Amino acid sequence: MTDAIPVYRSVSRDLFETQIVPEGRPAVIRGLVSNWPMVSLGLRSHSELSNHIRAAATNDPTVIWSGSPEIKGRFFYSHDLKAFNHAQEKAPLSVLLDRLMRHHRDSEPPGFYAGGVPLASHLPRLLLETPMPLLEKKGERRVSLWIGNRVRTAAHWDLPQNLACVIAGRRRFTLFPIEQIRNLYFGPVDFTLSGQPISLVDFIEPDLDAHPQFAEAMKHSQVAELEPGDGLYMPSLWIHHVESLDPFSAMINFWWRDAPAYTEAPIFSLLHGLLTLRDLPPRERQAWRTVFDHYLFRPDEQDPMGHIPQDARGLFAAMTPEIMRRLKATLISHLSR
């Protein structure tokens, strides 16, 4: 494994913004949300916490995942990668809470889970109970609930930065820098469980014959085990595998981006690249890498258009609503041919 994840306590917003975030690596923050009422409730009784969440929930449906005991909480694909090994349905959060409590003491329960449930629409009362002083109040962010029993979330990456705050049950995060994508055997990009591509490796019972490079990935892994009240900061695009270790687990996370509001998800550029770059002859493909480095990735941080007046840079000028409109029109025109 690489160096251990740094652990902090009593983190101020200034420390978070000037030291933790600029490091660009995960960080554990012990006791970050230990003063939240839900954490105290969960430590006292999972049933009380469940009732508290139920009382705050609207009747808006959310996606609930259910799997047989045989999958051992590993929500995944079918063997041919063309379907799932579990069911997904839309129902109010109360349906999930009922199932969790009904099977709370089962030795081998079915797996139940809901992820990314937005507090603003589904649990608005909880927004008042979950302040996050490390983040600027006026900044755009998404606050979500993740809740289930002993389940596993396959390794994946997220576009936003993330503060994951455990409110009930223990959670184990296994994290990798994005460079380990080549050793983690990611599955389909356009047919996923919930939006992001996932690793096909079973982290509990890895098949090293099918996935031999996973052993190399684990040399670069970092592991964080969180108790209720703890938080984990994850920078954008850090790959993470998550295990819920107890019969009832719940987490609130905060997602935000520092990028300009107009930026689209880069995954769409990747998909466009299937049409424009992937199948070029190797020499041409490498030449285009040089062009992309020059205009977009800019490893030397030099402005490639610095020698051209702003009003003559065309689509490469500083972004404005008009340039954005022209960019989209150009792409739509090309893709609709």
Domain boundaries, the chain: 7-256, 267-335
7-256 has CATH 2.60.120.650 classification? yes
pLDDT of residue 280: 97
Of 287, 283, 273, nearest to 335 (Cα)?
273
On the question of pLDDT at 324 being above 60, the answer is yes
Check: CB of residue 50 under 8 Å from CB of residue 101: yes
CA dist 42 and 45 (Å) reads 5
Of 70, 88, 53, 107, nearest to 250 (Cα)?
53
- Average confidence (pLDDT) over 140-157: 95
Distance of CA 8 to the CA centre of its chain: 22
Check: CB of residue 64 under 8 Å from CB of residue 98: no
pLDDT of residue 261: 85
| Residues 76-113: tens digit of each pLDDT | 999 999 999 999 999 999 999 999 999 999 999 999 99
pLDDT above 90 coverage of the chain, percent: 91
| Residues 1-13: tens digit of each pLDDT | 556 899 999 999 9
Instruction: State the chain's mean pLDDT as an integer.
Output: 95
Report residue 29's pLDDT band, with 50, 70 and 90 as the boundaries. Answer: very high
